[in-house]
Amino acid sequence: MDKTQAVQEPSIQVPALEVRGISKSYREKRRELPVLKDVSLSVAPGEFVSIVGPSGSGKSTLFHLIGGLTEPDQGQILLQGQDITGKKGHISYVPQQPALFPWRTIEDNVILAMEVFGVPVREVREEARKWMHRAGLGGFENSYPHKLSGGMQQRASFLRGLLGRQEVMCLDEPFSALDALTRSDMQHWLLNIWEENKRSVLFITHNIEEALLLSDTVYLFSSRPATVLHKVKVPFPRPRREEIAEDASFLALKRELTQYMREEQKKMLEGSR
């Protein structure tokens, strides 16, 4: 065949993160407590993916598995096609609480991940100060965590994860402890920062509106043992703005997912009786 006539095969994009058939149980008082059951999901390069599910459905356990803190009973965790099951240090993690070291200044907390990777100190500080200014933390570089509000501490925690050299960021309900107004501000701040940076993100939240506002894809988890009930490709264009939350199609999708959540919460309560 003439080379000019050859049909070029489309390139297949390898997911930044792939979870394949993960199951996990724990021992509790001589019995098995199943937490995750055959969970599969993926995060494409530069994609923002959220997991929504009832409390206690195993979402944080999944993050522990992805981070290599524990191993699954079955299944695999792949990062850019490479098996990292049970291996630490391959993802950037932002926890529910800021978890800043109180004896380090805000700047020294922010640069910690880059220090661990051996980035030269001068380069580390230059990059950190640039991002701190964008995050509204300029002027607080030499302050200690207790001097900052909860929202500012959470921004510092997020920047620490953002400046890590890992491709995938796992955010475990990072805004759950904030009041409603601060949480809203943080959501829009995160959107703006992410749209500049386009890191691959896996985000845990209980808040359906938050998931739809931030995400490209949303996975809805069942009650424990968690399985993937529903996968939603969020149809709203980017850049995403606050007004989208008032759009009729946004509200309809929010109602649909809320109904799924209510049904699962009801099942969980009935199962605990």
pLDDT in tens, 40-70: 999 999 999 999 987 777 888 999 999 998 9
Weakly modelled stretches of the chain, pLDDT under 70: 1-12, 265, 267-273
Sequence-ordered list of residues with C-beta below 8 angstroms from that of 92, at least 6 positions apart, any chain: 113, 161, 162, 164, 166, 168, 169, 170
Degrees to nearest 5, angle at CA 46 with 44 and 49: 60
Total residue length of the chain:
273
**For the chain, which domains are there?**
12-91+169-273 (3.40.50.300), 98-165 (no CATH)
Given the DSSP bridges, would you call strands 217-221 and 48-52 parallel, antiparallel or unpaired? parallel
Lookup: tokens for 125: 């500080």
Question: Which residue from 89, 46, 51 is spatially nearest to 199, judged by alpha carbons?
Answer: 46
Q: What is the pLDDT of residue 1?
A: 46
Burial (Cβ within 10 Å: 0-12, 13-18, ≥19) of residue 126: exposed
CB atoms < 10 A from the CB of 105, how many? 18
- Biggest CA–CA distance in the chain, Å, is 71
Distance (Å, rounded) from C-alpha 15 to C-alpha 47? 10
pLDDT at 26: 87
* CA separation for the pair 37, 126 (Å, rounded): 45
3-state helix, strand, coil in the chain (%, to 5): 40, 25, 40
Instruction: Return the half-sphere exposure (C-beta side, CA atoms, 13 A cut-off) of residue 99.
Output: 12
Plot region of 63 (φ>0 → left; ψ -120 to 50 → alpha; else → beta): alpha
pLDDT digits (tens, 9 = 90+) for 184-213: 888 888 888 888 878 899 999 988 999 999
Give the pLDDT of residue 240.
86
pLDDT at site 6: 47
d(C-alpha 23, C-alpha 191), whole Å = 32
